Amino acid sequence: MKHLEDETSAELHELISGLLDDEVTAAQMDALSQLTEKNESAAQLAADLISQHRLLGVLHQLFDESALCDSVMQKIDSAESQVTDQIVATLPATPPSSFGAICNYVVAAMLLVMVAWWFSQSRSDSSIPRQPAAIATLILDVACVWQQDASFREGQRLSPQNLNLRSGTAVLRFDGGAELVMTGKSSLELVSGGRASLNYGNIVVRADVGPDGFALDTPASPLVDLGTEFAVKVEQTGATELHVLDGEVEYRDGSSANVLGAGAAIRFAGAKADAEPIELNAERYTEVIRRLNPQPQRDRMTLYEGFNYDLEGTLPLPMARRGIGWSGPWRLRTSSEMRISRPDFSPDQLHIVQGEINVAWPVPEGRGGMLKMPAGGAIYVRPMKRPIALDQAGVTYLSMMVRETERPQKRRNPPERIRVTFRSSEDFLGESICFGYGHQFRPHIRIGNGQIFASPVVAPAEQTTLWICKIVTREVGEDELFFRVYGEDDELGYAEPATWHAVSRDVELSAKLDRVLLSSTGDIDRIVDELRVGPTWRSVAPMSEKK
């Protein structure tokens, strides 16, 4: 391990100290990056100082042990009562006779008493289904036909399971960072965010991110990427080919571990055969994607408002009824839709403007009309024809363009805020999902119960931004929400991004969200345009069409 010179060490201490105090410039960040990449001692020193910074925070900040104990006990209580509810819900709603009713109540009481014991024993044979955690995402589906009538949606989060593809091409992104293309008849077992097992078929893996190598088990050998791109072909007989397209791959040949470099390929004639060199013959990941040429799916949009009202000026709300997928025009909130009953500050018309947004992405419609949310604030509601059912498995994407006319430096009251929120007509003030940013201009996801998942990054200032949000719903288990804000210089890929600005955790919702709210508060004007909702990334993201 390379040791640090005194001079380097001093520079490193200064840079890291600056980083910990949020004072580093972009150039200093680059210098720090170079230092830590070149030298493991430097990375170690940085890791130590960052840990120490965290520990100093823990030592200096007030900590209430009994409050944390209480909070743990409350969490346990609440988890137990959820299980109780699930058990009670499985009992018949209308018992056939009074004797039956008594029996049910006795059974319910016994079950309630058993819940605590059930938890403490962590029973694995529970009848309450528990959803295993998702480890990958199906990011692209090109004419996929799955075996045994299985069906997967583009954008769907995948838990550990077998994927048996009959035909077509599927692109998966593992949570560990690796991306994998499956083509034609293939059988792949998803094991974890950094591991899979190929039973047969053709795949290409690109794994250039993540601290650990992506591991792929094959009948002939386990393969571990060492920062690389490789293709694997496994025949039904177990014969296996490995083609290294970039970097290196570790494999086993009998009992010895070997490394195969870029440009080389080997074949195992069977599961127990030795490796023989062969000619490299595999397409690169980017070539596969280019050949697939993923196209936008605008026809799959389920909800659209482009504010193309052929005018410049005010539009009475009852006339604001264009777009796709709506069951009524834009309107103000009713008194029952407000937490505090008071006169609405929103203008009772839409202010349509032209050409006030810089459309940096391929959105031809985005150059037409757009909605100005005026200084002083406005909140508008519009009913959707098809709700987002949070109690059913599904994937929903939303995109919207937003421009703030200026970025105030000081905190103001009312806060500078822009949001898009989904609510339910059945319980308007109940469960909801909101994407937006507040006074710190950090993108955040907000759930009806007040839970907020905020980004550490500030949204790009005084420019048009493109918001893309993803809602993954499940019948049972955790729902997942994602939010990313693109600046004018950011390019959109053919599939959803690997990283998002805000990601939810431990959210379980069940409402049917059928109302969209657009809200803007504070002292600055904001322009909103091209609100799109659809089932895939490609149905809402303004991707360019490549012929």
Candidate list 195, 206, 484, 512; residue touching other proteins; CB under 8 A? 484
In this structure, the number of other CB atoms found within 10 A of the CB of residue 384 comes to 20
- Both structure tokens of 298: 């605008």
Near other proteins in 5-34, by CB under 8 A:
6, 9, 13-14, 16-23, 29, 32-33
Closer residue to other proteins, CB minimum distance, 58 or 110: 58
Q: Does 476 bind other proteins (CB under 8 A)?
A: no
Q: Does 498 bind other proteins (CB under 8 A)?
A: yes
Q: What's the chain's length in residues? A: 547
In this structure, the number of other CB atoms found within 10 A of the CB of residue 427 comes to 12
| Concatenated DSSP letters of 112-141 | HHHHHHHHHHT-SS-SS--PPPP-EEEEEE
Candidate list 347, 356, 503, 508; residue touching other proteins; CB under 8 A? 503
Candidate list 243, 311, 505, 547; residue touching other proteins; CB under 8 A? 505
- The helix (H) or strand (E) run that includes residue 38 is helix 26-38
Q: How far apart are CA 167 and CA 174, in angstroms?
A: 21
Min dist CB 513 to other proteins, Å, is: 24
Near other proteins in 267-326, by CB under 8 A:
none
Distances (CA, A) of 359 to 365, 375, 528: 10, 22, 12
Near other proteins in 97-116, by CB under 8 A:
116
Confirm if 372 and 352 have CB atoms less than 8 A apart.
yes
For residue 336, the SS3 value is helix
Q: Does 68 bind other proteins (CB under 8 A)?
A: yes
Candidate list 25, 28, 31, 65; residue touching other proteins; CB under 8 A? 65
Confirm if 519 and 421 have CB atoms less than 8 A apart.
yes
CA 408 to chain centre: 29
Which of 214, 233, 236 lies closest to 223 in space, CA to CA? 214
Q: What is the 3-state secondary structure (H, E, C) of 523-540?
A: CCCEEEEEEEEECCHHHH
Closer residue to other proteins, CB minimum distance, 36 or 302: 36
Min dist CB 195 to other proteins, Å, is: 13
Instruction: Please give the DSSP secondary-structure letter assigned to residue 321.
Output: -
Candidate list 336, 341, 413, 499; residue touching other proteins; CB under 8 A? 499
Q: Does 461 bind other proteins (CB under 8 A)?
A: no
Q: Does 125 bind other proteins (CB under 8 A)?
A: no
Candidate list 28, 31, 43, 239; residue touching other proteins; CB under 8 A? 43
Closer residue to other proteins, CB minimum distance, 54 or 412: 54
Min dist CB 251 to other proteins, Å, is: 23
Locate tokens 């293939």: which residue?
186
Q: Does 391 bind other proteins (CB under 8 A)?
A: no
Q: Does 36 bind other proteins (CB under 8 A)?
A: yes
Closer residue to other proteins, CB minimum distance, 66 or 127: 66
Min dist CB 59 to other proteins, Å, is: 6
Q: Does 44 bind other proteins (CB under 8 A)?
A: yes
Candidate list 139, 157, 176, 357; residue touching other proteins; CB under 8 A? 176
Min dist CB 506 to other proteins, Å, is: 9
* Strand pairing class (248-253; 256-261): antiparallel
Locate tokens 């210089």: which residue?
489
Min dist CB 502 to other proteins, Å, is: 7
Q: How many residues of this chain interact with other proteins, rule: CB under 8 A?
A: 78
- Both structure tokens of 4: 């640090």
Candidate list 122, 127, 336, 413; residue touching other proteins; CB under 8 A? 122
- The helix (H) or strand (E) run that includes residue 397 is strand 394-404
Closer residue to other proteins, CB minimum distance, 30 or 276: 30
CA 191 to chain centre: 20
Closer residue to other proteins, CB minimum distance, 61 or 127: 61
Which of 227, 164, 225, 168 lies closest to 198 in space, CA to CA? 164
Min dist CB 57 to other proteins, Å, is: 5
